[in-house]
Amino acid sequence: MPVPAQRTRPGPRRALTEDQILDAALTLLDAGGANAASVRAIAAQVGVAPNAVYTYFPDKAAIVKALVERLLGQVDHGVFIDRDQPWRQRVEALALELRERLSAHPGAVPLLIGGPMDGPHALALNERLLELLADAGLNPTDAARASYLLIVYVFGSIALEVADLPQPGPLPPESERIDTRLDAFTATPAEHYPRTAAAAAAMAGYISTEQYLWGLRRMLDGITASTTAHTEAAGV
């Protein structure tokens, strides 16, 4: 007489959290770039079916938005909220902090600038920057315009720096990347592009911290000059 098959109880459901999903997305982005973090790939990374991911996030766009918020939430506000420090020093501290945080995850950078930054952490960052620029003497309208200018510069610079990578993955050391660029620009045929060939060393350093701060300081010079001109025009 055949023995009836024993019915086994299903094992415990695998616990899943939003943080685990975001961890998996960031791991995929770090390894494979902006296109690597599909919902199916994220689900496979954490060992669940795609439907389990949709329980927490309705689509990939929601995952990206949450991931952007997480990265911006890691920014250390302590580096630029000290109102006893000169405002320019505080702007530089913020710009360097953002560059360090975002360049640590180059695969996430294209996603960061690909959608609206309107979450709580993004709004808090913008609020701090507006406060900082008000401390510099800008009126609310000019502060808002200057804030946008600085954000475009910071995120645009980081995006171009990341785009310079030949393949997805962590950023190599800055000196190594500059040497690679220098080799490429040094090979530029001077008979066809004499100015480019002559500027090879400077162009190789476009992705350097030195260039990043040089551009930032030129913008701050312009903001300062504009504020001074408005003050003088108003007879203050």
> How many residues belong to the chain?
236
Residue 139 lies in a domain: yes
pLDDT in tens, 83-130: 888 999 999 999 999 999 889 999 888 887 877 788 999 999 999 999
Segment 227-233 shows an average pLDDT of: 55
Residue 1 lies in a domain: no
**Considering the chain, what is the average pLDDT of its residues?**
87
Q: Which is higher by pLDDT, 82 or 47?
A: 47
Q: Which is higher by pLDDT, 140 or 229?
A: 140
Report how far residue 124's alpha carbon sits from residue 80's, in angstroms, rounded to the nearest whole number: 13
Residue 11 lies in a domain: no
Segment 56-70 shows an average pLDDT of: 92
Residue 13 lies in a domain: no
Report how far residue 59's alpha carbon sits from residue 25's, in angstroms, rounded to the nearest whole number: 13
Residue 7 lies in a domain: no
Q: What is the domain range of residue 33?
A: 18-233
Question: Per-residue b/e over 163-201, b at no fewer than 16 CB within 10 Å?
Answer: eebeebeebeeeeebbebbeeebeebeeeeeeeebeebe
Q: Report the number of distinct structural domains present in the chain.
A: 1
Residue 9 lies in a domain: no
Report how far residue 78's alpha carbon sits from residue 92's, in angstroms, rounded to the nearest whole number: 13
pLDDT in tens, 35-59: 889 999 999 999 999 999 999 999 9
Residue 121 lies in a domain: yes
pLDDT at 209 over 60: yes
Q: pTM here? A: 0.84
% of residues, the chain, pLDDT over 70: 89
Segment 124-146 shows an average pLDDT of: 94
The reported pLDDT for the residue numbered 12 is 39
CATH of the domain at 140: 1.10.357.10
- Residue 167 sits at φ, ψ, to 5 deg, of -155, 160
